[in-house]
Amino acid sequence: MEKRSRILGVILLLCALVLAGAVLLWAQPCGAMLQMGNKAVHMRCFYQKPIGCCAAVLWLAFAADCLKNKRIALLPILVSGLAVVSLSFDWALGIGVCQNVKMACHTTAWWARGTGIAAALAALVCSIDFDRQL
């Protein structure tokens, strides 16, 4: 269990750093304003940045818990990973991205999907006890 929790901790740490780097540095979502009548509002992809930062902080906390306490919090890691993935799609539970494929928010969405899937899969694989006899 100790080895698996350390592996999961390192994977979550990498996912958190990659997601934070994506939304803050190399794949920043657009910050443009959309003109709605006489009022300017943010485009919906603007909200990927705070969600990505919150998920990165959450995964850093889970990584610290895995590395320090040698335990795996399967359900919260799995739910947070799947939430990051689902929020990047345009459906009832998601924010979605702009319609223009050339905008940077599509790159941000792909980074979020990749890190969310990696975190969820790592939590699933690390929680399985392969040494147990059937």
Q: Residue 19 — very low, low, confident or very high, per pLDDT cuts 50/70/90?
A: very high
With 70 as the cut, is the pLDDT of residue 69 above it?
yes
What pTM was computed for the model? 0.84
Measured CA to CA, the distance from residue 104 to residue 46 in angstroms comes to 11
Instruction: Please give the torsion angle defined by the CA atoms of residues 103, 80, 15 and 89, in that order, rounded to the nearest 10 degrees.
Output: -20
Give the rounded percent of residues in the chain with a pLDDT score beyond 90.
Answer: 31
Q: What is the pLDDT of residue 55?
A: 92
With 70 as the cut, is the pLDDT of residue 133 above it?
no
- Can you give the residue ranges of every domain in the chain? 2-127
Segment 89-115, tens digit of pLDDT: 877 777 777 777 777 778 888 899 999
